[in-house]
């Protein structure tokens, strides 16, 4: 067992994937010599060569579009988008081409590519580097969308995403890249299936569902809540499309209350879908309406204000208290 | 030999007709697909039309100079193949807002099939505002819309159930939010309410029924209790309050003393799984026979008591000290202890043993409403042969009741709760209650009392036992 | 010099060079650099660089070019008529562009891969795609019904220019497979990316030039400049002749007479050979004309003069080839009639095939969304099946 950062865990996972399958290549800006602006691809070009770790021109639509061409030719590209806010030039290629090519071809084409996106705020950055745009892609049929929250998940999920024959948008919690966690690199434990949620912390009174960078915030909130006598069950959703509603529903049937937390704006965020689905599935179990805790409905503010914008432990616990008040 | 017809296509915006200008073919001519066969004129331009099939012209169906409506067949062509194709009427054209006349087939102009042409496809079409007919004739799964302010209907509306309705054994009461709120407002513990919805879902009716009293006393327990003049100490009151002993209080006291210190009281208890009784109650509540009368577990207890009394007549009797006789009665006048505005009363239902379940229910309802109004007559309170006292409405399990004067037995009916119970070797959640029977040991020995209590319990445990003993 | 003045750059800008770049439309159609081997009148002319690339063509090959163009024009005409009769939602006609598509299509080797737009019915024909498969998309039955890997012909891409990036990426894949510059004519492969003059304005197309140049990818960019992007003339897309833009990205550009099947064949072959041998990308601008409308409901009379169309009729690709085949006795009357007959039969086949094309089963819309099972898709499929079954009538 060793302690490893999320960034290094993803690096290790990609390394394993590339060792296993010579068709796996990584394409992105500054990923070669520099090792990526978050060092997630560090040393990979040194070991696998420029053929397989491809520094691309500075054009995101081009990265995704040429990756599609590579995939058509039989390769399994991992695309690195440097920051969440930079994915928008590639939005057309992702939504119109990556997502639709398989149904368009009646199943004759598959695009087994992974698009890795560092997501979320809390890094004190300038504009466009702290976005949470997972709802756009989760809403796009034809894509699969996952979000890891810890090193162990990061290590296994990136490998599973590469192995999937479907295109996967892989969100990485950028403010957690350098946070360490346990990972048994030599461990033989079978990893959790990619598209399943997990109970990160069991509880009795309230279900708190979240993903990505907010998982740690919610776990901390649960620890504080326990001191107040409130037992919170924290669910790490891990997969946003498809959504593992079974795990959420089972939990809500036990607790009767659900709070969903994410950095993305509350309005029309992932919480809206989960709230609607759970309201339908667990109607007779609900003691309170589903409470959502998310960012405000405004563009991500300047870094001096981001702590006011981001849902933090206090806002999460306020949401829990609102649910318990019913 | 199949004769096919070509209809006049829509020539343009808002126009429903065109003039035949020149026929380019005549009867007997051979035509190939896409041959231009006719020139028509719209308000603005001449349009040449190509024929969509090949063959021999058999008839020109419109004359030059004639104005023809869109959709009218204008030419018949025998295509030399089998099967006539009937002319198909062209549906009404979708029109746009533009006043400009646009050539058919160009953007904004008319397109085949009654659509408006667009750059990239067939174009929008006119749709009818109509529902497609469904199989089986009836509207599928349409819930009866019920005003929440109206009296609850005996039958719950049909509800489309969600895919996963958990088993009732999950331990949580299932209820939708408005029902939960109602329960909270009425002070009802949802987990104690038997749910009549699918999968054990607690409905509004269930909560209201429960609030009216599971095994209620003759009076509406909750509401009536509030009226009972319990002493209330104001903030600045004296340390003691002196209440004159008179009226019902005096009479009650005398009766209690007389009973308690004359008849040697013995009380026996039995704990019963009454799940089947509760199910019966649920069923009866939706039964047309009991549509407009209150059905509660107390009704079943009353019936059980009556049946048990017939089986054990010795308990339905009186110790007549003066005559030195035990009077065994051949009738059951069933008394129900009631807390009324005036105090404790025990009106009885005459000849309860002669009544059907429905009649018993009506008699109990009548007794309840009369008592609630404080109008119980003395005649109603005399001549009772056996009594039930209901402590369950207070949530109390059981007690050692004092015999009603002149009677040999009194049954104490407690709260009905969800309790773990062993059923076929497994622990399950069942509806369980305690029955307490006090009897006069001068004339009722333990065996009689026990047998009687056991019989009551047996019927409550399995109401079909009434069929055997009835 | 005072502080307020700015030093002039050391090299003065050559005004004449600039003027030459933004030259007015030259009198010679397509400009002096236009590559042509067959005049509109059907006469053979030579080109110092490209004549060599048709030296190996046989008479049968030439007759084949004629047959290809006639048949695909006939299919195109039939599809246009079918649209007018409501059998297709729309049709994008290639009328006038047959030589550009057949000439380039026939230069491809089997292992080469083609990325079309949505008008390359002539290239599809050369690649062996059944014309009926093209109609499915325009009829609304599917989004493209053929297997791209069967004919190395990608599905039609409706998003303008998006396919040029896919083509470049595919070419990068060929490089990764070491199928470039080996010298083995059956192994070395190249990609051809088709797009129009309008597409050259799209970011994706320009990015594909960037990537192709940076990676030295074996991709031939084939622009059919048919002068019109719906209603916009090519001048709205590019201030400079399109083929000259390649220079700005660092690779060669050639303008060819798009209505001259011999020249198109020659230039495309040269470009593909170069790409296969590892010399990287090239841009070919096939100078041609969109004789019909953008799609069937477009009305060109709203934005262009019919006189222009009449002028281009005199440059018809099929007529000039027929004239040449006749005058050089490489084909006779019997041959031409046989081709006409074949065209008529093909038209009937296409018509009948179109009319009898079945509508897709409603439930099939849930197929092929993902490779692996997806719980939401399966749940919705089941829900839709139950919903459909709840209605009276046939389903």
Assess whether C178 carries a catalytic annotation.
Answer: no
pLDDT of residue A102: 97
Would residue C115 be called left, alpha or beta, if left means φ above 0 and alpha means ψ between -120 and 50 degrees?
Answer: beta
Of all residues in chain A, the percent with pLDDT exceeding 70 is 99
pLDDT of residue B232: 59
Q: What is the pLDDT of residues A61-97, one digit of tens each?
A: 999 999 999 999 999 999 999 999 999 999 999 999 9
User: C84, C236, C303, C374: which is the annotated catalytic residue?
Assistant: C303
d(CA C90, CA C140) in angstroms, rounded, equals 9
Q: How many CB pairs under 8 A join B and C?
A: 62
- Any domain includes A204: yes
Facing C172 at nearest CB: one of A66, A103, A241: A66
pLDDT of residue C129: 96
- Paired tokens of C372: 């692996």
Q: Between B216 and C103, whose confidence is greater? A: C103
Total domains present in chain A = 2
Facing C392 at nearest CB: one of B113, B123, B133: B133
Mutant choice from A54, A66, A96 vs C, greatest count of C C-beta within 10 A = A66
Q: What is the pLDDT of residues B317-348, one digit of tens each?
A: 999 998 999 999 999 999 999 887 777 889 99
Residues of A in contact with C372 (CB under 8 A): 164-166
Residues of C in contact with A56 (CB under 8 A): 211, 214
The architecture in CATH of the region C27-355 reads 3-Layer(aba) Sandwich (3.40)
Mutant choice from A284, A289, A291 vs B, greatest count of B C-beta within 10 A = A284
**What phi, psi does B375 have (nearest 5°)?**
-110, 20
pLDDT of residue C171: 98
Question: Distance between alpha carbon A238 and the CA centroid of its chain, in Å?
Answer: 7
Q: Please state the domain extents for chain C.
A: 27-355, 361-395
Q: Are residues A154 and A206 in the same domain?
A: no
CA-based angle B452:B454:B460, to the nearest 5? 110
- Paired tokens of B233: 């100490």
Q: What is the pLDDT of residues A151-163, one digit of tens each?
A: 999 999 999 999 9
CATH number for the domain harbouring residue A274: 3.40.50.920
Q: Are residues A54 and A171 in the same domain?
A: yes
The interaxial angle of helices C333-355 and C131-139, nearest 10 deg, is: 40
Q: Are residues A206 and A175 in the same domain?
A: no
Domain termination residue (choose one: A183, A218, A235)? A183
Work out the minimum CA distance from B194 to partner chain A, whole angstroms. Answer: 15
Q: Are residues A234 and A283 in the same domain?
A: yes
Can you give the pLDDT of all 395 residues of chain C as single tens digits? Answer: 455 555 655 556 677 666 666 555 445 788 889 999 999 999 999 999 999 999 999 999 999 999 999 999 999 999 999 998 889 988 999 999 999 999 999 999 999 999 999 999 999 999 999 999 999 989 988 888 899 999 999 999 999 999 999 999 999 999 999 999 999 999 999 999 999 999 999 999 999 999 999 999 999 999 999 999 988 899 988 999 999 999 999 999 999 999 999 999 999 999 999 999 999 999 999 999 999 999 888 888 888 888 999 999 999 999 999 999 999 999 999 999 999 999 999 999 999 999 999 988 889 889 999 999 999 999 989 998 998 898 887 65
Facing C296 at nearest CB: one of B103, B105, B133: B105
B42 pLDDT band, cuts 50/70/90, is low
CB–CB of A61 and C204 under 8 A? yes
Q: Are residues A121 and A21 in the same domain?
A: yes
- Any domain includes A299: yes
Residue B113: exposure state from Cβ atoms within 10 A (0-12, 13-18, ≥19): middle
* SS3 letters across C359-381: CCCHHHHHCCCCCCCCHHHHHHH
Q: Is the pLDDT of residue B379 over 90?
A: no
Q: Are residues A142 and A58 in the same domain?
A: yes
Work out the minimum CA distance from B141 to partner chain C, whole angstroms. Answer: 11
d(CA C197, CA C224) in angstroms, rounded, equals 6
Residues A89-107 have a mean pLDDT of 97
Q: Are residues A167 and A296 in the same domain?
A: no
What subunits make at least 3 CB pairs under 8 angstroms with A? B, C
Q: What is the dihedral of CA B29, B35, B41, B45, to 10 degrees?
A: -150
Helical spans, DSSP H, in B187-296: 204-211, 221-227, 247-260, 275-285
CB–CB of C165 and A164 under 8 A? no
Bridge partners (DSSP) listed for residue A261: A293
Contact C285, C194 (CB under 8 A): no
Q: Could you tell me the sign of the dihedral formed by the alpha carbons of C232, C238, C240, C245, in that order?
A: negative
d(CA A218, CA A237) in angstroms, rounded, equals 12
SS3 state at C230: coil
Q: Are residues A96 and A162 in the same domain?
A: yes
With CA atoms as reference, the chain A residue closest to B201 would be A284
d(CA B128, CA C222) in angstroms, rounded, equals 47
B229 pLDDT band, cuts 50/70/90, is very low
The interaxial angle of helices A60-72 and C162-176, nearest 10 deg, is: 60
Residues A267-283 have a mean pLDDT of 96
CATH number for the domain harbouring residue A116: 3.40.50.970
DSSP 8-class letter at A77: E
CB within 8 Å of B27: residues ≥ 6 apart: B57, B58, B59, B60
With CA atoms as reference, the chain C residue closest to B7 would be C85
Q: Are residues A133 and A210 in the same domain?
A: no
Work out the minimum CA distance from A279 to partner chain B, whole angstroms. Answer: 10
Q: Is the pLDDT of residue B83 over 80?
A: no
Closest CA to A263 of A141, A154, A118, A140: A118
pLDDT of residue B215: 38
A186 pLDDT band, cuts 50/70/90, is confident
Q: Is the pLDDT of residue B126 over 80?
A: no
CB–CB of A256 and B172 under 8 A? yes
Q: Could you tell me the sign of the dihedral formed by the alpha carbons of C169, C172, C174, C180, in that order?
A: positive
Q: Are residues A223 and A282 in the same domain?
A: yes
Facing A242 at nearest CB: one of C204, C367, C375: C375
pLDDT of residue B144: 44
With CA atoms as reference, the chain C residue closest to A74 would be C173
Q: Is the pLDDT of residue B220 over 60?
A: no
Assess whether C303 carries a catalytic annotation.
Answer: yes
- Any domain includes A193: no
Q: Is the pLDDT of residue B373 over 90?
A: no
Q: Are residues A163 and A261 in the same domain?
A: no
pLDDT of residue A181: 94
Q: How many CB pairs under 8 A join A and C?
A: 138
CB–CB of B162 and A283 under 8 A? yes
Bridge partners (DSSP) listed for residue C233: C228
- C5-12: long-range contacts at Cβ-Cβ below 8 A with a sequence spacing of 24 or more? none
d(CA A303, CA A287) in angstroms, rounded, equals 38
Would residue A154 be called left, alpha or beta, if left means φ above 0 and alpha means ψ between -120 and 50 degrees?
Answer: alpha
d(CA B28, CA C210) in angstroms, rounded, equals 64
Instruction: Say if strands A76-80 and C253-257 run parallel, antiparallel, or are unpaired.
Output: unpaired
- Any domain includes A190: no
Residues of A in contact with B180 (CB under 8 A): 287
- Paired tokens of A67: 């990756």
ipTM over 0.90: no
CB–CB of A285 and B172 under 8 A? yes
CA-based angle A196:A200:A205, to the nearest 5? 110
- Any domain includes A61: yes
Of all residues in chain B, the percent with pLDDT exceeding 90 is 33
pLDDT of residue B163: 33
- Paired tokens of C35: 């590559």
Q: Is the pLDDT of residue B108 over 80?
A: no
Q: Is the pLDDT of residue B96 over 80?
A: no
SS3 state at C384: helix
Domain range spanning residue A315?
Answer: 198-324
Residues of A in contact with B161 (CB under 8 A): none
Q: How far, CA to CA in Å, does A247 sit from each of A274, B266, B307, C349?
A: 12, 56, 52, 55
d(CA A157, CA A236) in angstroms, rounded, equals 13
Of all residues in chain A, the percent with pLDDT exceeding 90 is 89
- Any domain includes A189: no
pLDDT of residue C112: 98
Mean residue pLDDT across chain B: 79
Q: How many CB pairs under 8 A join A and B?
A: 24
With CA atoms as reference, the chain B residue closest to C379 would be B163
Q: What is the pLDDT of residues A120-149, one digit of tens each?
A: 999 888 888 999 999 999 999 999 999 999
pTM over 0.80: no
DSSP 8-class letter at B91: P
- Any domain includes A192: no
Q: What is the pLDDT of residues B133-169, one digit of tens each?
A: 888 864 444 444 444 444 333 333 333 333 333 333 4
Flag whether residue B132 sits within 8 Å of chain C, measured between CB atoms.
Answer: yes
Facing B107 at nearest CB: one of C85, C298, C390: C298
pLDDT of residue A147: 98
The CB-side HSE value for C342 (13 A sphere, CA atoms) comes to 15
């Amino acid at each position: 067992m060793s302690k490893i950062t999320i960034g290094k865990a993803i690096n290790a996972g990609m390394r394993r994937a590339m060792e296993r399958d010579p068709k796996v290549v990584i394409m992105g800006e500054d990923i070669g010599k520099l090792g990526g602006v978050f060092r997630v691809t560090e040393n990979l070009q040194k070991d696998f060569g420029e053929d397989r770790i491809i520094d691309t021109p500075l054009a995101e639509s081009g990265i995704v579009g040429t990756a599609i061409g590579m995939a058509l030719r039989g390769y399994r590209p991992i695309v690195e988008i440097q920051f969440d806010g930079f994915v928008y030039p590639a939005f057309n290629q992702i939504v119109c081409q990556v997502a639709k090519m398989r149904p368009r071809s009646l199943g004759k084409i598959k695009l087994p590519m992974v698009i890795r996106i560092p997501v979320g705020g809390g890094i004190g950055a300038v504009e466009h580097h702290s976005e949470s745009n997972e709802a756009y892609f989760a809403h796009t049929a034809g894509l699969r969308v996952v979000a890891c929250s810890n090193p162990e998940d990061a290590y296994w999920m990136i490998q599973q995403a590469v192995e999937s024959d479907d295109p996967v948008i892989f969100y990485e919690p950028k403010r957690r890249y350098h946070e360490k966690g346990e990972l048994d690199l030599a461990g033989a434990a079978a990893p959790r299936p990619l598209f399943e949620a997990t109970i990160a912390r069991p509880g009795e009174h309230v279900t708190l569902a979240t993903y990505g960078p907010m998982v740690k915030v919610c776990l901390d909130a649960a620890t504080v809540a326990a001191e107040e006598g409130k037992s919170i069950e924290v669910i790490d959703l891990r997969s946003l499309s498809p959504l593992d509603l079974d795990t959420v529903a089972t939990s809500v049937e036990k607790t009767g209350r659900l709070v969903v937390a994410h950095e993305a704006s509350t309005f029309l965020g992932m919480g809206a879908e989960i709230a609607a689905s759970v309201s339908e599935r667990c109607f007779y179990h609900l003691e309170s309406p589903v409470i959502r805790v998310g960012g405000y409905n405004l563009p991500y503010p300047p870094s001096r204000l981001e702590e006011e914008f981001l849902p933090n432990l206090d806002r999460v616990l306020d949401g829990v208290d609102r649910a318990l008040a019913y | 030999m199949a004769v096919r017809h070509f209809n006049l296509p829509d020539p343009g915006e808002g126009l429903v007709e065109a003039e035949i200008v020149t026929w380019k073919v005549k009867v007997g001519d051979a035509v190939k697909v896409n041959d231009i066969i006719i020139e028509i004129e719209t308000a603005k331009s001449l349009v040449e039309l190509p024929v969509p099939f090949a063959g021999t012209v058999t008839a020109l169906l419109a004359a030059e100079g004639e104005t023809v409506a869109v959709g009218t067949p204008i030419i018949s062509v025998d295509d030399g193949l089998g099967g006539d194709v009937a002319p198909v009427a062209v549906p009404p054209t979708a029109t746009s807002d533009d006043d400009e006349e646009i050539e058919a087939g160009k953007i904004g102009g008319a397109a085949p099939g009654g659509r408006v042409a667009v750059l990239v496809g067939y174009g929008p079409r006119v749709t009818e505002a109509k529902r497609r007919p469904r199989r089986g004739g009836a509207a599928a799964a349409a819930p009866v819309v019920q005003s929440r302010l109206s009296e609850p209907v005996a039958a719950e509306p049909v509800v489309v159930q969600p895919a996963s309705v958990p088993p009732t054994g999950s331990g949580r009461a299932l209820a939708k939010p408005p029902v939960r709120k109602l329960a909270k407002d009425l002070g009802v513990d949802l987990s104690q309410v038997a749910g009549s919805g699918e999968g054990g879902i607690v409905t509004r009716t269930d909560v209201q029924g429960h609030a009216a009293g599971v095994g209620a006393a003759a009076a509406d327990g909750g509401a009536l209790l509030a009226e009972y003049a319990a002493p209330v100490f104001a903030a600045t009151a004296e340390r003691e309050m002196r209440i004159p002993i008179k009226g019902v209080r005096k009479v009650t006291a005398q009766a209690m003393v007389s009973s308690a210190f004359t008849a040697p009281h013995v009380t026996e208890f039995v704990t019963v799984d009454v799940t089947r009784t509760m199910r019966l109650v649920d069923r009866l509540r939706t039964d047309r026979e009991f549509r407009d009368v209150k059905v509660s577990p107390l009704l079943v207890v009353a019936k059980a008591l009556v049946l048990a009394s017939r089986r054990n007549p010795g308990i339905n009797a009186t110790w007549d000290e003066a005559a030195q006789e035990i009077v065994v009665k051949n009738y059951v006048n069933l008394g129900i202890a009631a807390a009324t505005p005036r105090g404790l009363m025990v009106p009885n239902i005459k000849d309860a043993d002669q009544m059907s379940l429905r009649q018993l229910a009506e008699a109990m309802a009548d007794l309840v409403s009369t008592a609630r109004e404080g109008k119980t007559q003395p005649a109603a309170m005399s001549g009772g042969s056996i009594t039930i006292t209901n402590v369950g409405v207070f949530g109390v399990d059981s007690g050692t009741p004092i015999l009603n004067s002149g009677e040999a037995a009194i049954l104490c009916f407690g709260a009905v709760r969800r309790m773990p119970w062993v059923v076929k070797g497994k622990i399950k959640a069942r509806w369980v209650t305690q029955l307490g029977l006090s009897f006069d040991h001068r004339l009722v020995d333990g065996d009689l009392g026990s047998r009687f209590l056991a019989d009551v319990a047996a019927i409550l445990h399995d109401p079909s036992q009434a069929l055997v003993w009835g | 010099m005072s502080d307020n003045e700015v030093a002039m750059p050391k090299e003065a800008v050559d005004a004449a060079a600039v003027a030459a770049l933004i030259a007015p439309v030259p009198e010679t159609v397509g400009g002096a650099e236009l590559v042509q081997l067959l005049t509109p009148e059907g006469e053979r002319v030579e080109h110092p660089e490209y004549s060599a690339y048709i030296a190996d063509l046989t008479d049968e090959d030439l007759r084949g070019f004629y047959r290809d163009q006639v048949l695909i024009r006939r299919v195109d005409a039939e599809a246009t008529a079918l649209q007018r009769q409501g059998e297709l939602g729309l049709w994008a006609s290639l009328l006038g562009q047959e030589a550009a598509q057949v000439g380039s299509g026939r230069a491809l080797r089997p292992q080469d891969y083609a990325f079309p737009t949505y008008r390359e019915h002539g290239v599809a024909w050369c690649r062996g795609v059944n014309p009926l498969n093209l109609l499915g998309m325009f009829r609304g039955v599917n989004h493209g019904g053929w297997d791209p890997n069967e004919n190395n012909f990608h599905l039609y891409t409706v998003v303008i220019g998006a396919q040029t990036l896919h083509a470049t990426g595919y070419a990068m894949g060929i490089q990764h497979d070491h199928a470039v510059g080996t010298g083995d004519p059956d192994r070395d492969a190249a990609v051809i990316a088709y797009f129009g003059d309008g597409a050259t304005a799209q970011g994706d197309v320009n990015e594909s030039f960037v990537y192709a140049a940076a990676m030295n990818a074996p991709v031939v960019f084939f622009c059919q400049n048919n002068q019109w992007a719906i209603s916009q003339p090519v001048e709205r897309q590019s201030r400079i002749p399109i083929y000259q833009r390649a220079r700005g990205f660092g690779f060669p550009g050639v303008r060819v007479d798009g209505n001259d099947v011999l020249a198109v064949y020659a230039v495309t072959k040269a470009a593909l050979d170069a790409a296969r041998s590892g010399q990287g990308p090239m841009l070919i601008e096939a100078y041609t004309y969109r004789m019909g409308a953008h799609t069937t409901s477009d009305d060109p009379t709203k934005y262009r003069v019919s006189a222009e169309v009449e002028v281009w009729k005199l440059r018809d690709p099929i007529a000039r080839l027929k004239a040449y085949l006749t005058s050089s006795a490489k084909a006779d009357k019997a041959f031409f009639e046989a081709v006409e007959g074949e065209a008529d039969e093909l038209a009937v086949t296409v018509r009948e095939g179109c009319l009898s094309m079945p509508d897709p089963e409603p439930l099939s819309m849930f197929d092929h969304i993902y490779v692996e099972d997806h719980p939401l898709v399966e749940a919705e499929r089941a829900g839709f099946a139950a919903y459909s079954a709840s209605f009276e009538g046939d389903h």
